Structure 1
Amino acid sequence: MRGLLPVWRHAGGGSVSAPFASSRRALPARVTLAHGGGGSAMRDLIDGVFRAAFADDGALPAAEDQARFDLAALAAKGDRLAFTTDGFVVDPLFFPGGDIGTLAVCGTINDLAVGGAVPVALSCAAIVEEGLPVEVLRRVAASMAQAARAAGVPIATGDTKVVARGACDKLFVTTTGIGVVRAGLDIGIDKARPGDVILVNGLLGDHGAAILNARGDLALETAIESDCAALDGLVAALIASAPGIRMMRDATRGGVAAVLNELAEASRVGVSVRELDLPIRPEVTGFCEILGLDPLYLANEGKLVAVVPAEEADAALAALRAHPLGRGAAAIGRVSDGRPGRVVMETRFGGARVVDMLVGDQLPRIC
């Protein structure tokens, strides 16, 4: 976007004003507290890891304390500004299908996209534990840069802090995003109406399974990869196919069950889903049965729940399935005029059970 200046702040809040230069000192193998002190060591870390990875064209302009945007360019995309932020503390940092960097970029892009916004730019704040290998930081920054470029959403500004050993666990990342909501689009968690159809864009629970497997809690013969992906392109296709779309929400912590309960409560409607229609890998179903988990509550990082009017459901489902991130899309249920706020699942055996909101989380530090 014209007028966008990538920037990065040092620990004291001021800008790193010196341009990236080949004469900077080589970084040590591990991050030290000096790298968070606001001096030349901090500049070397920021220039050598973050600004080097995030520069769009290889050039690193002098930094300011803020990113700047052309208001006319923003207004051309829509009529409202969307703003979101999210912290990422996933353990382990690297897992099949992604890492904390990919997760941070895709997660924030998705939070904007499911609100009907065109993502414009991201910020990134990294809290680094003293002693973290610099190579780990480089890998994470490279993943973030790759994910951001693939989505066409630049990382425009950021900040780095270094804390003493034990004050955090290796690396925490916070990403903030801004986007512009498409003109004329009015969607929200409170917009569902009886008769609407509930859609998902593919296999559920893969991220939760991938994290469990990466922690060594499972011994699966077939490795399951996280579904971590940026959904802005999929969302654009969905909105084009179903202009009357009621709502979208990405099913992260708490899984699909949390989204359905939030929907039922906010819209004051009943929700019914069919277990046989839920797209879940047999491997995920199997380990959930062994560990006493419910796949409806497993986290996803590339799946959304969408509610569309019944007359637009076929077109919406076709649009999802035509996109690489929606090939496994399915209609899983309907909005009803039953008891407001209640989610009921028809089981594979013909019975019914209430799907409540979890008090906590089945799996901590999943994202």
Structure 2
Amino acid sequence: MAVFAERPHEHPLLRPPPARRRALTQKTVTMAHGGGGSAMRDLIEDVFLSAFSGAGHAPPEDQARFDLSALMAHGDRLAFTTDGFVVDPLFFPGGDIGTLAVCGTVNDLAVGGARPVALSCAIIIEEGLSVETLRAVVASMAQAARAAGVSIATGDTKVVPRGACDKLFITTTGIGVVRAGLDVGIGRARAGDVVLVNGLLGDHGAAILNARGDLALDTEIKSDCAPLNGLIDTLIAAAPGIRMMRDATRGGIAAVVNELAEASAVGVKLDELSLPMRPEVMGFCEILGLDPLYLANEGKILAVVPADEAPAALAALRAHPLGQDAAIIGEITGERPGRVVMRTRFGGERIVDMLVGDQLPRIC
């Protein structure tokens, strides 16, 4: 365990620590880098601390420490989440596993109404991984954390023999503070509410599959990977009665609306013509026989708001750089509780069920 910054200065709750650096000379990661000795110390200090701590880092304790009174000044509840990342390939158009790890955890906090504060990261490294590859991933994590306004405060590294993992796996855990008086959740939707998304759907799933070389698309599709806490701040300000938010990652928006319908005991009616989607992604799905509703996203949220707040919510989303293609895609009904129905472009209806199995494995 290494404390990267007891109170990293990227966040107002945290203070800059003193500097210390050790140079790493090896070009690939070896088993010695996970052994607890000087080789591991060199890896941590030269690769991780140099990226995460800015001008320095805290003394090498086994935990990061936070002033509880300072945290509670931002809200009245602590949010806590964790996620693992095994995406293949490590690098893809629009991001990499490091960007994904930070943004995914930040977004999981933000959709619960929390202001993200700090992350931890645990990294499993396969013996033989290029140090330059590791540096690039860590640099992406640091950049994404700065963009989200959070610190990477503590973490851990393990090295496993060749073949024991596929290059690099990351687990990130985050804490945030939930705004006082805000109550959002998957079980709070009511008949008459409106369903919105903040932009084009399916880009991440399409980008990953294309990066694997399974397609030769003329137009490069980039992942939508992004930290959404700033966008969500804007949305909450515009629609204070917001019912729920959820980032539509694995399983796409279909998974989210089915969980919503079941937890809230409501019906959900989507409109296929209203779904914002690139023509390239639609064509990609037609070629492979995939349903775009199930494609993963890493920069999209689905939100449910009262009908009278929907115009303001939509305008706020569209005014933000990460919500310019936002759209109202459906409504909450009292009909067929627990069921999701979509009006098709041909005027009929079809049931949208939960995904069985996995359309695209290892997409995050």
TM tier, smaller: over 0.9
Question: Could you say what secondary structure the match of 1:358 adopts?
Answer: coil
**Deviations 1:28-61 (CA, angstroms, capped at 9, x unpaired):** 1100000000000000000010111101x32223
CA contact (8 A) 1:4 1:70 kept: no
**Residue in 1 that maps onto 2:95:** 98
User: How far did 1:151 drift?
Assistant: 1.1
> Which residue of the partner structure matches residue 333 of structure 1?
330
Partner of 2:33: 35
Deviation of 1:347 (Å): 0.4
* 1:137 maps to 2:134: yes
From 84, 88, 94, give the equivalent of 1:87.
84
SS in 1 for 2:322: helix
Q: 5+ unaligned residues in a row in structure 2: which ranges? A: 9-17
Aligned twin of 1:78: 75
> Is the contact made by 1:103 and 1:228 (CA closer than 8 Å) also made in structure 2?
yes
Q: Distance in 1 between matches of 2:23 and 2:227?
A: 35
Opposite residue 320 of structure 1, the aligned amino acid is L
* Residue type of the alignment partner of 1:20: R
**Aligned twin of 2:292:** 295
How far off is 1:150 after superposition?
A: 1.3
C-alpha displacement of 1:62: 1.9
Q: Distance in 1 between matches of 2:340 and 2:23?
A: 59
Q: Distance in 2 between matches of 1:195 and 1:320?
A: 20
- Percent of paired sites with the same residue: 78
1:153 counterpart letter in structure 2:
V
Divergent runs of 4+, >2 A: 3-6, 18-21, 24-27
Q: Is the 8 A contact 2:19 2:55 kept in 1?
A: no
- 2:116 matched to which residue of 1? 119
Q: Report what 1:146 is aligned to.
A: 143
Unpaired segments ≥5 residues, structure 1: 7-17
Shift of 1:361: 1.5
TM-score by length of 2: 0.95
How many matched pairs?
A: 351
* CA distance in 2: counterparts of 1:97 and 1:25, whole angstroms: 30
Q: Within the alignment, does 1:265 sit opposite 2:262 as a pair?
A: yes
Contact map agreement 2:208 2:363 (CA 8 A) in 1: yes
C-alpha displacement of 1:360: 1.7
TM-score (ref. length: structure 1): 0.94
Query: 1:15: which partner in 2?
Result: none
1:180-231 CA-partner distances (Å, limit 9, x unpaired)? 0000001100000000000000000000010011001111111010000000
Matched, 1:225 2:225: no
Distance 1:251 1:74 in 2: 28
Q: Output the aligned Cα RMSD.
A: 1.2
Q: Tell me, what secondary structure is at the counterpart of 1:335?
A: strand
Alpha-carbon distance in 2 for matches of 1:4, 1:249:
30
Q: List per-residue Cα deviations over 1:159-200 (Å, max 9, x = no partner).
A: 000000000000000000000000000110000000000000
Q: How does 1:53-64 map to 2 (within 5 A)?
A: 53-55=51-53, 57-64=54-61
The code of the aligned residue for 2:288 comes to L
1:180 and 2:177 equivalent?
Answer: yes
State the Cα deviation string for residues 241-293 of structure 1 (Å, max 9, x = none). 00100000000000000000000000000000000000010000001011000
User: Which residue does 2:242 correspond to in 1?
Assistant: 245
Q: Distance in 2 between matches of 1:250 and 1:60?
A: 33
In the alignment, is residue 234 of structure 1 matched against residue 231 of structure 2? yes
Match of 2:20 in 1: 20
Distance 1:225 1:94 in 2: 11
**1:25 Cα offset (Å):** 4.7
